[in-house]
Amino acid sequence: MEKLTMDKIVNICKQYGFIYQGSEIYGGLANTWDYGPLGSRLKNNIKDAWRKRFIQENKNSYEIDADILMHPRVWEASGHVGGFSDPLIDCKECKTRHRADKLIEEYDHNINGDALSEEEMIEYIRKNKVPCPKCGKSNFTDIRQFNLMFETHRGVIKDDTSSLVYLRPETAQGEFVNFLNVQRTMRAKIPFGIGQIGKAFRNEITPGNFTFRTIEFEQMEHQLFCREGTDTGFYKFYKEYAMNFLKDLGLNTDKLRYKDHEKLVFYAKEACDIEYLFPMGWGELWGTHNRTNYDLSRHQEYSGKSMEYIDPEDNSKYIPYVIESSVGCDRLTLAILCDAYDEEILEDGTTREVMHLAPSIAPYKVAVLPLVKKYHSEYAKELKEKLSHSFMCMYDETGSIGKRYRREDAIGTPFCITVDDETINNNIVTIRNRDTMEQISINVDEIEDYIANEIKF
Ligand code: GAP
């Protein structure tokens, strides 16, 4: 297959119903995307897989669903009001806005813009005459810090500062402020974890690359609360746990790598990203951070409420350390789509488009196809209805059987069941495997067990 471009993946996503431009009939709202029937199923399956791995199978882990709107003091305590900003720079010639660190990284791929101070960035841009990506000139303003939080107002009086609230820029704070609630109600002993999946909002200066960086997105975050001294062990554990999860979702290991943070934020002890090789280059996918006891200490300071844990083992009191594991669900969905898409040249010289999605996360698990509509559709419809109690199931009776297989390949359906005379007479169907294109014959009564076994995560 030719190198996959982001434009190609955008087109495929639209063509097959994975992701559409947001508000498209009004000309679109930049950097907003709506998930279609296939995309929303895929994303939900990814969330279910995360839930299984990070909550269900993870010892002592609890899921919560905190509100998007939180007390404004939460964001003062977390440091977002004072420091959650990006370095903004304007091109004086064409008036476009850029993130100074990204401008430098795009100019020289070997530089990590994140590791440069504001002074170093401006010096680099001026010394190297870094061009504006839009007009090619190098005539920029100074750098200004731009806060990424979306503000809104509650109540009726908009200009009253007491009504100011923020759309959360991360889900993590919901987990921190509920630490003691969960600990008490679940009688949890440290080490234990709190995770959640939810929307986050950031007024990004340079969103783009499809759903890689958007202003509204979903995060899947998990915080492990532990005793100081055990933190580095858990940090290493979660780094590997995340990587194994990605591999189990079927991501190509050659396109995944760890990248330790060069510049740690002052409270962090250790931090590492997992990067994925997207069509536009390596990009952050997942972060694992040892946040020490910073977040809980800050909430204790700002709320005036104790965040201490009393250890039943020795009655000691302490504020736990936190190991955070954080991934964007939309970014992960994008990585999975890019990874799964392929154009295979077949022996007869034709090309087949195929999404090699792991069966556990494929939007539809099975398609039921009557070989000849006139003779086999009644049986096939009944079978589809029966299987729909257990799996997302597709039914298609239009076009040649070959064309119908191709349609299912393109949306990643791992199994196609063909209903033919053998089915009507002897209850035998053929099941075609998407990846190998091989077919096996089995009894209708065995279908459910067969599929259930194949789609296990
Ligand atoms: N609580 C820690 C935190 O939010 P982050 O590195 O800012 O850390 C975590 O975000 C993950 O969320 C990223 O690794 C990425 O997958 C996703 N993410 C962050 N900003 C995003 C955006 N604007 N659009 C889509 N996904 C984003």
Number of CB atoms found within 10 A of residue 289's CB: 24
328 lines ligand 1 (CB under 6 A): yes
**Mean confidence (pLDDT) of the chain:** 95
Question: Could you tell me if residue 404 is inside a domain?
Answer: yes
| Residue 390 reports pLDDT greater than 70 | yes
The residue type found at 361 is I
Q: Write 263-271 long-range contacts (CB < 8 A, 24+).
A: 263/114, 263/115, 267/291, 267/292, 267/294, 268/292, 268/294, 269/231, 269/232, 269/235, 270/232, 270/235
| Residue 174 reports pLDDT greater than 90 | yes
Q: Give the distance (Å) from ligand 1 centre to CA of residue 127.
A: 31
pLDDT per position as a tens digit, 330-361:
999 999 999 999 999 999 999 999 999 999 99
| Residue 220 reports pLDDT greater than 90 | yes
Same domain? 18 vs 104: no
Q: So what's the pLDDT on residue 265?
A: 87
Distance between first and last Cα of the chain: 28
Q: Whose CA is nearest to atom 18 of ligand 1?
A: 328
213 lines ligand 1 (CB under 6 A): yes
Determine the 3-state secondary structure of 180 from DSSP.
Answer: helix
Question: Could you tell me if residue 435 is inside a domain?
Answer: yes
Asked whether the beta carbons of 276 and 255 are under 8 A apart, the reply is yes
Question: Could you tell me if residue 24 is inside a domain?
Answer: yes
Same domain? 313 vs 421: no
Q: What range does the domain containing 295 cover?
A: 6-69+157-337
Q: Give the distance (Å) from ligand 1 centre to CA of residue 425.
A: 55
Tell me the mean pLDDT in the region 68-91.
94
Tell me the mean pLDDT in the region 407-432.
97
* Alpha-carbon span 100 to 86, nearest angstrom: 8
| Residue 208 reports pLDDT greater than 90 | no
Sheet (strand 144-147) strand order: 97-99, 85-90, 144-147
Where does residue 215 rank: exposed (0-12), middle (13-18), buried (19+ CB within 10 A)? middle
- We report the CATH number of the domain holding residue 397 as 3.40.50.800
Q: Whose CA is nearest to atom 27 of ligand 1?
A: 328
Q: Give the distance (Å) from ligand 1 centre to CA of residue 307.
A: 26
Number of CB atoms found within 10 A of residue 445's CB: 8
Residue 286 Cα: closest atom of ligand 1: 14
| Residue 160 reports pLDDT greater than 70 | no
Same domain? 183 vs 281: yes
Tell me the mean pLDDT in the region 130-138.
94
Q: So what's the pLDDT on residue 155?
A: 82
Same domain? 143 vs 162: no
Q: So what's the pLDDT on residue 115?
A: 81
Q: Whose CA is nearest to atom 20 of ligand 1?
A: 213
Is the C-alpha dihedral spanning 234, 237, 243, 248 positive or negative? negative
Same domain? 172 vs 302: yes
At residue 156 the predicted structure's pLDDT band, cuts being 50, 70 and 90, is confident
At residue 424 the predicted structure's pLDDT band, cuts being 50, 70 and 90, is very high
* Alpha-carbon span 172 to 197, nearest angstrom: 10
Same domain? 249 vs 217: yes
Tell me the mean pLDDT in the region 113-120.
87
Q: What is the pairing mode between strands 393-395 and 366-370?
A: parallel
Determine the 3-state secondary structure of 312 from DSSP.
Answer: coil
Structural domain count, the chain: 3
Q: So what's the pLDDT on residue 206?
A: 78
| Residue 159 reports pLDDT greater than 70 | no
Entry pTM? 0.94
Of the candidates 452, 439, 247, the residue with the CA atom closest to the CA atom of residue 365: 452
| Residue 389 reports pLDDT greater than 90 | yes
202 lines ligand 1 (CB under 6 A): yes
Sequential DSSP letters for 374-400 = HHHHHHHHHHHHHHTTTS-EEE--SS-
Question: Could you tell me if residue 76 is inside a domain?
Answer: no
Tell me the mean pLDDT in the region 434-447.
97
Same domain? 287 vs 401: no
219 lines ligand 1 (CB under 6 A): yes
Q: Which helix (H) or strand (E) holds 367?
A: strand 366-370
* Alpha-carbon span 435 to 365, nearest angstrom: 13
Of the candidates 437, 448, 442, the residue with the CA atom closest to the CA atom of residue 422: 442
Asked whether the beta carbons of 17 and 38 are under 8 A apart, the reply is yes
Same domain? 328 vs 379: no
For residues 327, 333, 336, 342, the Cα torsion angle rounded to the nearest 10 degrees is -160
Tell me the mean pLDDT in the region 108-118.
86
